[in-house]
């Protein structure tokens, strides 16, 4: 089982380039950036408190953060709408796109046809069509009586 885990780990590492060292370095950089931002905010508050009184400085710093929050919400809503529209377009393209003409699928079908034999494959397809038609007939005969109708019983 560890072979499969190692395989998936290597596949993920090959596609993303991530490793434990990179993750640890990123966490340390994020923590340092947060501490630096806190010191910057405190320094800005102290500087504004020297220029104005402490209440005005606090209101200015709070106003900046409210402005940042409003901008972040607007960007978030815009990104959400764009992602929803992109997903709708991709779903529409997938549903209208004929996946049967995918070159990989056509090649695989051709190889299966050669391996099984075209005559056997044609007879299997005919049997599949026949089974589908018979099952459709059987399903069509099993219609349930409506709720307002009473079932017919033989006495």
Q: Residue ranges of the domains in the chain?
A: 18-97, 100-141
pLDDT tens digits, one per residue of 3-58: 777 777 777 777 777 777 888 988 999 999 999 999 999 999 999 999 999 999 99
Start-to-end Cα distance in the chain: 65
Prediction pTM value: 0.48
Report the run of H or E that residue 26 belongs to, with start and end: helix 20-51
pLDDT tens digits, one per residue of 87-102: 888 877 766 655 666 7
Report the run of H or E that residue 61 belongs to, with start and end: helix 54-96
The residue whose two tokens read 């005969």 is: 141
Mean pLDDT over the full length of the chain: 82
- Residue with more model confidence, 107 or 66: 66
The residues near 52 (Cβ < 8 Å, ≥ 6 apart) are: 60
* Exposed/middle/buried for residue 134 (C-beta within 10 Å: 0-12, 13-18, 19+): exposed
């Amino acid at each position: 089982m560890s072979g499969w885990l190692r395989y998936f780990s290597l596949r993920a590492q090959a596609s993303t380039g991530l490793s434990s060292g990179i993750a640890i370095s990123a966490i340390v950089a994020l923590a340092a950036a947060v501490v630096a931002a806190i010191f910057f905010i405190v320094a800005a508050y102290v500087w504004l408190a020297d220029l104005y009184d402490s209440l005005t400085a606090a209101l200015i710093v709070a106003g900046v953060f409210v402005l940042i929050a409003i901008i972040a919400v607007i960007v978030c809503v815009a990104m959400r709408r764009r992602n929803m529209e992109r997903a709708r377009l991709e779903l529409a393209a997938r549903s209208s796109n004929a996946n049967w003409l995918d070159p990989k699928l056509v090649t695989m079908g051709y190889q299966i046809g050669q391996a099984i034999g075209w005559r056997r494959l044609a007879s299997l397809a005919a049997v599949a069509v026949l089974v589908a038609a018979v099952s459709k007939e059987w399903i069509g005969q099993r219609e349930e009586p409506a709720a307002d109708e009473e079932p017919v019983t033989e006495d």
